[in-house]
A and B are shown apart, each in its own frame.
Chain A
Amino acid sequence: MKIPIHIADESREPIYHQIETQIKTLIVGGKLAPGTPLPSIRSLASDLGCSVITTRRAYQNLEATGYIKTIQGKGTFAREVENTKMEETKQRAVYDAFEKSVELGIQFGLLEDELNEIFSSVLKENFKNEG
């Protein structure tokens, strides 16, 4: 089984953390429904080109925070996530995405006002039919 995870080759974020965040997002976004089997740490490592040490670490963290569950001899599965945690994770994912955009802006030498302007116009563009 394959799950849509991608390691960014231009990101400095540790791989285990990228895996963790992306699986959380898939679970919270409903793309991995509760009970859905996840690949074994060995096949995930093979798909991503990292070591099992890294995938094991990601799975251990996800297990500790209640996103997945490993059943001996059966495999690893997505778990039902509480509503509050669901909200938290969604907020976190969106926050991170904004942060990345701002970093790109800064890299291109944009000022705070200019970033703000872009942000407002993107918001306007997306919410214009609801206002």
Chain B
Amino acid sequence: MQTSILKVKGLKKSFKRFQLGPFNFTVEQGIVVGLVGANGSGKSTLFRLLMNIMKEDAGEIHVFGEKRTGDEWKQKVGFAGEMLGAYDFLTIHEIKNLISYWYSTWNEEQFENMIKRYRIDTDEKYEKCSKGTKKKVDFIFTLCHNPSLLLLDEPTAGVDIVSQRKMKEDLIQFMDDGEKSILLATHTAEEINQLCDEIIVLDSGQIRHSFNKDEIYENFGRLWISHVTDTMKNHPNVIYCEQNPPQIITNHLETIENILKKEQITINQVQRLLMEEVLEYLIEY
């Protein structure tokens, strides 16, 4: 039996010009859920609501099977989302002393190792760090208190390639025992490909799509066909159409293949779409 590490029901928040939700989704144990969507689609606001930094108008949030009460549940959560701003006049070492004080499970050895691994100078003031270095420091702070759930808001944005690879390795390592979970907001297809099991697509504060990653692989495809008819052009499962050479892109291969057969259109070649292509269609349409 899989357990929900995070369960969100009817979560809603209204702003003057923006309405978020209602959101319903779960993050199961052992699963990485990727959160994608254009800038301003509500990803960061969702994280703030989840962390109780911002109060919801309606809805319920269950963490580790229980309704969030008090602050105790935060001991088991690692959140990276540019929240260190208020302390940015301190050095990384001083921030570490502040943060580690609050966690009974703080692992100093792991912190030291990660500081070395990511080549962080802990005597540097946080505000003086580059954008990428700040991201790395945020990332290290989310992992060193033995959390079971990570909430990561674009953890690798602005981070150098080598460190990105290391972060990916650290997250795979984190997930390896199959008992932890991650909710990861990202803009890179590579992170979706290499880290995520499920994908939630946000658009203007709403969940537009939500599925298992392998469904994408099974359902999306580009078909080169003998000719394109109006029926094909207007079919809801055809998301793109080109005449020369005749080809269509579908979000449901099986349906389209059956219709093509009925219409007596020959399929010359079928190809899966790349994750980059799929994400673009999901976000854009």
Residues on A facing B (Cβ under 8 Å): 9-10, 12, 14-15, 40-43, 45-47, 49-54
**Contacting pair A49 B270 (CB below 8 A):** no
Q: For the complex formed, measure the closest distance between the CB of A38 and the CB atoms of chain B, giving whole angstroms.
A: 13
**A51 vs B218: C-alpha distance in the bound complex, in angstroms?**
12
Instruction: Scan B167-203; emit 1 where CB is below 8 A from any A CB, else 0.
Output: 0100010011010000000000000011111100000
Number of interface residues of B (CB under 8 A): 23
Are B176 and A10 closer than 8 Å at their CB atoms? no
A51 with B212: CB separation less than 8 A: yes
> How far in angstroms is the closest Cβ of chain B from A92?
24
Rounded to whole angstroms, the CA-CA distance of A52 and B168 in the bound complex is 15
Whether B214 and A10, one on each chain, are in contact in the complex, defined by CB atoms closer than 8 angstroms, is no
Is B125 engaged at the interface, CB distance under 8 Å to the other chain? no
Contact A52 B193 (CB under 8 A): no
In the bound complex, do residue A51 and residue B214 qualify as a contact, i.e. CB atoms below 8 Å apart?
Answer: yes
Q: Is the CB of A14 within 8 A of B218?
A: yes
CA distance A42 to B170 in the complex (A): 12
Closest-CB distance, B178 to chain A (whole angstroms)? 7
Q: Does B241 count as interface, using CB distance less than 8 angstroms?
A: no
Evaluate contact between A51 and B178: CB separation under 8 angstroms: no
A9 touches B176 (CB 8 A): no
B264 lies within 8 A of chain A by Cβ = no
Q: Is B270 a contact partner of A51 (Cβ separation < 8 A)?
A: no
Is B269 an interface residue when CB atoms closer than 8 A count as contact?
Answer: yes
Contact of B213 among A9, A12, A41, A50 (CB under 8 A): A50
B31 within 8 Å of A by Cβ? Answer: yes
